[in-house]
Amino acid sequence: MYAQMVKSTGQGVKSLDEMEPQERAFQERINAGEKIEPKDWMPAGYRKNLIRQIGQHAHSEIVGQLPEGNWITRAPTLERKAILLAKVQDEAGHGLYLYCAAETLGVSRDELTEDLLSGKMKYSSIFNYPTLTWADMGAVGWLVDGAAIMNQVPLQRTSYGPYARAMVRICKEESFHQRQGYDIMMKMAQGTPAQKRMAQDALNRFWYPSLMMFGPSDADSVHSAQSMAWKIKMNTNDELRQKFVDQTVPQAEYLGLTVPDETLEWNDDKGGYDFAEPDWSEFFDVIKGNGPCNVERLAARNKAWDDGKWVREGLLAHAEKRASKKVAAE
Q: Map residue 272 onto helix, strand or coil.
A: strand
Contact 277/216 with Cβ under 8 angstroms? no
Number of neighbouring beta carbons within 10 Å of residue 96: 15
Q: Is residue 39 near another protein by the rule CB under 8 A?
A: no
Q: Is residue 117 near another protein by the rule CB under 8 A?
A: no
Which of 262, 265, 307, 330 touches another protein by CB under 8 A? 307
Q: Is residue 222 near another protein by the rule CB under 8 A?
A: no
In the bound state with another protein, the residue whose beta carbon lies nearer, of 202 and 259, is 202
Which of 253, 317, 323, 324 touches another protein by CB under 8 A? 317
Amino acid at 65: Q
Q: Is residue 220 near another protein by the rule CB under 8 A?
A: no
Q: Is residue 172 near another protein by the rule CB under 8 A?
A: no
Buried-state track 235-244, b at ≥16 Cβ within 10 A, e below 16: bbbeebbbbb
CA dihedral 281, 283, 284, 288 (to 10 degrees): 140
Sign of the C-alpha dihedral, residues 270, 271, 276, 278?
A: negative
Q: Which stretch binds another protein (CB under 8 A): 36-44, 46-54, 167-175, 309-317?
A: 309-317
Which of 15, 18, 220, 310 touches another protein by CB under 8 A? 310
Q: Map residue 192 onto helix, strand or coil.
A: coil
Residues 183-202 binding another protein (CB under 8 A) are 184, 187, 191-192, 194-195
Q: Is residue 312 near another protein by the rule CB under 8 A?
A: yes
In the bound state with another protein, the residue whose beta carbon lies nearer, of 76 and 289, is 76
Distance CA 87, CA 110 (A): 24
In the bound state with another protein, the residue whose beta carbon lies nearer, of 83 and 234, is 83
In angstroms, give the least distance from the CB of 78 to another protein. 5
Q: Is residue 316 near another protein by the rule CB under 8 A?
A: yes
Binding mask 59-98 for another protein (x = CB under 8 A): ---x--xx-xx--xxxxxxxxxxx--xx-xx--xx-xx--
Distance CA 229, CA 223 (A): 10
Contact 167/152 with Cβ under 8 angstroms? yes
Contact 302/59 with Cβ under 8 angstroms? no
Q: Which stretch binds another protein (CB under 8 A): 14-22, 42-50, 171-179, 303-311?
A: 303-311
In angstroms, give the least distance from the CB of 267 to another protein. 37
Q: Is residue 299 near another protein by the rule CB under 8 A?
A: no
Q: Which of 225, 222, 275, 219 is nearest to 246 (CA)?
A: 275
C-alpha to C-alpha distances, 190 to 77, 117, 131, 196, 286, nearest whole angstrom? 17, 41, 21, 7, 33
For another protein (CB under 8 A), the number of binding residues is 52
Distance CA 39, CA 141 (A): 37
Q: Which stretch binds another protein (CB under 8 A): 140-148, 237-245, 261-269, 304-312?
A: 304-312
Q: Is residue 319 near another protein by the rule CB under 8 A?
A: yes
Q: Is residue 154 near another protein by the rule CB under 8 A?
A: no
Contact 94/175 with Cβ under 8 angstroms? no
In angstroms, give the least distance from the CB of 84 to another protein. 9
Number of neighbouring beta carbons within 10 Å of residue 313: 10
Distance CA 137, CA 140 (A): 5
Site of interaction with another protein (CB under 8 A): 62, 65-66, 68-69, 72-82, 85-86, 88-89, 92-93, 95-96, 99, 109, 134, 184, 187, 191-192, 194-195, 300-301, 303-305, 307-319, 321
